[in-house]
Amino acid sequence: MSELFPDYRATWETDAHRDLRKHAAEFLRKESTPNQERWAAQHAVDREFWNKLGDAGLLGLDLPEEYGGAGGDFGFSAVVAEELALAHDTSTGWIVHSPIVAHYINTYANDEQRQRWLPGIINGEKVLAIAMTEPGTGSDLQAVKTTAIRDGDHYVINGSKTFISNGTHCDLLVIVAKTDPSQGAAGVSLIVAETDEKLKGFERGRVLEKVGQHGQDTRELFFSDMRVPVANLLGAQEGLGFYQLMEQLARERLIIASLCAGLAESAVLEAIKYTKEREAFGRPLIKFQHNKFELAELKAEALSIKTTVDYCIQSYIDGNNDPATASMAKLIAADKAVDVVDRCVQFFGGYGYMMEYPIARAYAAARVNKIYGGTSEIMKEIISRSL
């Protein structure tokens, strides 16, 4: 149940989704919220937190039951994404692990690969990351320069990646690489590296100092003649990687939109709470007409984000994996959430600029949602093609 909108219920939300929401909220407020400042200081969540997420059943929500998953629909992931924001979590790379990379493996892996990887992914023993972005390549994924050249039963991988979430803890890394550099998009493949101490030629670079999300282990990664078995290729053949990426991007954009909906709602809740407690000139801030009107508008904005995202989630659950619809969800949710959080900061005065306050961490974390998963400009380009 939404604290800001207690009578609201999305069309896709069942009793199972509501039970999950309650469970996730209780777990995250106990295990995540109190640790945000410490995780920010160490630039990573505790490795054991991933095992706790697995024990709580929050890592395999829409993965098959035969591997330990819950077998749910996309709405299960959307619920947890919202609750992460409502718990003021700006550290956990859950979105990368569970609704994004795990789905790549479940969708494109063969039976042997699923048997080998999915149980550990679901119980938290294997943390996931995906290596797309390179120092000179962002949204144009067909321009990646990392190569994976076959040598017998192995690929020899050379290149570098940057902005890799879960870069410190990842045990399984999906690498976007060129298996045939002469073929452009048709030469891109996805290859899974098992990044244990036996993997030679793999180096985790520096932890990147970001504007926000300081507790998330975002790093550079380097591959130097790194040998990965050909058996770790995702898909029936080489050259499918670009198309696999394009097929999954709608899902990635929807989960980011879900997080943004939770982010906006959380910011408004914090602002309402603070303006009821903080006094100026002998009365609570919320008693001033300007503040009341501003909060009323912000609540309406948060609801508009929520309903837009929920409409798009319902469409996805119904089987309409439409890139334009997902792009509209991300465009609206990311852009509007940044604005809502920014306006909520203003109620806090100087305290809104202090990182010990959740609203400040939300402000710093929100901006990147207009960039990763495809920039707002890319979203407009995709939407424009449907006009």
- Catalytic residue numbers read 252
Backbone angles phi, psi at 224, to 5 degrees: -130, 100
Task: Report the distance separating Cα 373 and Cα 7, nearest Å.
Answer: 31
Find how far residue 102's CA is from the centre of its chain.
12
Backbone angles phi, psi at 221, to 5 degrees: -130, 145
Cβ–Cβ under 8 Å, residues 344 and 268: yes
Output the CA–CA distances (angstroms, integers) from residue 307 to 256, 303, 304, 333, in the order listed.
Answer: 15, 6, 5, 10
Q: Is the dihedral of CA 53, 56, 58, 59 positive or negative?
A: positive
Helix H or strand E segment including 112: helix 111-123
Q: Is the dihedral of CA 356, 357, 361, 364 positive or negative?
A: negative
Helix (H, G, I), strand (E, B) or coil at 13: coil
